[in-house]
Structures are given as C-alpha cells and as structure tokens.
Amino acid sequence: MRHFRFYHKDTGLFHPNTFATTDTRTIVIERNTPSDHVALEGEFDHRTQRFDIGANKVVSHDGAKVDPTRRTKLLRIDALRAAQHDHVRRVLLGIEDKSALTAIDDEITALQKDIG
C-alpha cells in the first residue's frame, strides 16, 4: 500500500486529507490530489510538518507561525472549487444558468489577488 499526503504548491502546508492506494498508475494519484496541491508519498503530520519548497524537503512546522488570514483564504478557495461540481453538472444538463459558477469564479479570483 502506498500512502500520500498533499502539500499546497505555494505554501508547502500539508492538506489534512491523505490517500492510500495499491494502484501504481500516476493518473490515480493525480485524480485524488486536491487542486493547487502536490502529492508526496509518505506519511506526514499536517499539524507539525510542512514541505519546504525552496529546500525541497519536509521540515518541522509550527502552525502558529502561519498567517491565519492567508490560510483561511486558501482553505476557502479549496472549498469553493469543491462546491462548483454540482453547479457544473446542472449547467451542463440545462437545469440552471452559469451565474452560480460565475459567482464562485469571481470569489476565487478575488481571494487569489488578496493572497498574491
């Protein structure tokens, strides 16, 4: 069994979700990786470790030092992206117009501008 943890591509913070599989195909891992995250094989503690992107390694992490506003915005972006799937299905089926998707996209864009 292979175990994966996901870290955010910009901050290196580990996502609380993990993924385990016996499948060796890369596509399986990619499909289970949250948006804006990178899969890293191994078992890591998202509360006490993070991936140092510059050093390309896992390092100790004191969660209290993370900018809480930035982290909240990143989590909100992930939540918005997860919430859009039902709206996409409804738009494709012609059940609703794309206004809800546009609102989600506008909020994501604004959050991304805020965090740089």
Calpha distance 78→14 (Å, rounded):
13
Instruction: Verify that 59 and 72 share a domain, yes or no.
Output: no
Domain total in the chain: 2
Instruction: Verify that 81 and 59 share a domain, yes or no.
Output: no
pTM value is 0.54
Instruction: Verify that 48 and 98 share a domain, yes or no.
Output: no
CB-based contacts of 61-65 (< 8 A; 24+ apart in sequence): 61/13
Helix, strand and coil in the chain, % to nearest 5: 45, 25, 30
Calpha distance 49→42 (Å, rounded):
12
Instruction: Verify that 16 and 56 share a domain, yes or no.
Output: yes
Tell me the mean pLDDT per 10 residues along the chain, length 116. Answer: 93 91 89 93 90 92 70 88 90 94 94 84
Residue 51: Cβ-neighbour burial (10 angstroms; 0-12, 13-18, 19+): buried
Domain region containing 46: 2-64
Instruction: Verify that 59 and 85 share a domain, yes or no.
Output: no
